[in-house]
Amino acid sequence: MNVDAAAERLYERVRTCDLCPLWTTRTNAVPGEGPLNAEVMFIGEAPGVNEDRQGRPFVGAAGQFLDELFAAAGLKRDGVYICNVLKCRPPGNRDPQPGEIEACRDYLDEQIDILDPLVIVTLGRFSMAKFFPNQAISRIHGQPKEVAGRFYVPMYHPAAALHQGSLRQVMLDDFAKLPALLERARKAQVRPAPPFPMAFVEAASAGPAAPLAPPPAAPTPPEAAAVPAGMATFEPETASAPELAAPPRLAEAPEHPEPSAPPEAATAGRPTQIRLFD
């Protein structure tokens, strides 16, 4: 199944989901939207009243400020992927409950799997908690963490800046750092191991060669390649976050793997980053 079909099936499951009680009060589920080959994925909290009406994420006041933040980051809304921890609106915009987050979790995990983004930006504490458990947003906002070639950036929720004006500039400044981070993430992409002889990888590597598995006897799809171990530069500040162990992989070969890679692309970080629709 290709990623378009995988996403469409996922969206349909979300629209008809009854895994938690929020299905009874929703008008529309809000699966998420954006190009499936987006490099950056934004994860908010849950739909509000406007999102529930339209079935689209961040279309209310918080969404308007998010558009300003995209502009500060040189991003266009239609070039990024936007979704939420919860796909259905909690009544009265109350906080998501742990059981709801758990019930809805597979959908978000599948979205990350399908998108395989270079950068994940969390908006607010509920999406932050998925990747940065037991952290305070006031301390870590805007600071990227790299795990296996993917960068995770916790940001304040745009709605927070609507309530607390002083956060506006803080958020604009944090978002202004995204272009450089994205550039770094692109450079850190690693080509699949099997097509490259060790000598190539060693020559291209600034530091010690990464422990790569020997090439398999028969050609295999790049996505099935062994993942170099010990790639993450993430220093967990608390107990390790299971969500950050490794980026999930789509369990099928890409349809259009990139044929070759510049030497600098083979240096560090990302086990196998294939842009599916370049």
Minimum distance from CB of 168 to ligand URA (Å)?
16
- Gap between the terminal Cα atoms of the chain: 18
* Cβ contact 143:41 at 8 Å: no
User: 40-44 and 119-123: which strand pairing?
Assistant: parallel
Rounded Cα distance between 89 and 84, Å, is: 10
Rounded Cα distance between 278 and 272, Å, is: 15
Minimum distance from CB of 31 to ligand URA (Å)?
11
Order the strands of the 145-147 sheet from edge to edge. 81-84, 40-44, 119-123, 150-155, 145-147
Minimum distance from CB of 110 to ligand SF4 (Å)?
12
Kindly write out the interface string for residues 39-78 of this chain, putting x where it contacts ligand SF4 by CB under 6 A and - elsewhere.
Answer: ----------------------------------------
Closer of 19 and 82 to ligand URA (Cβ): 82
Among ligand URA, ligand SF4, none, the one that 57 touches (CB under a kind-dependent 5 to 8 A) is ligand URA
Minimum distance from CB of 136 to ligand SF4 (Å)?
26
Residue keyed to tokens 């850190």: 188
Rounded Cα distance between 7 and 262, Å, is: 31
- Type of residue found at 121: V
Q: Which of 3, 6, 10, 17 binds ligand SF4 (CB under 6 A)?
A: 17
The residue count of the chain comes to 278
Closer of 22 and 274 to ligand SF4 (Cβ): 22
* Cβ contact 256:218 at 8 Å: no
Closer of 39 and 100 to ligand SF4 (Cβ): 100
Would you tell me which residues interact with ligand URA (CB under 6 A)?
44-48, 51, 57-58, 62, 84, 159
Among ligand SF4, ligand URA, none, the one that 51 touches (CB under a kind-dependent 5 to 8 A) is ligand URA
User: Which residues form the interface with ligand SF4 (CB under 6 A)?
Assistant: 14, 17-20, 22-23, 29, 86-88, 100, 103-104
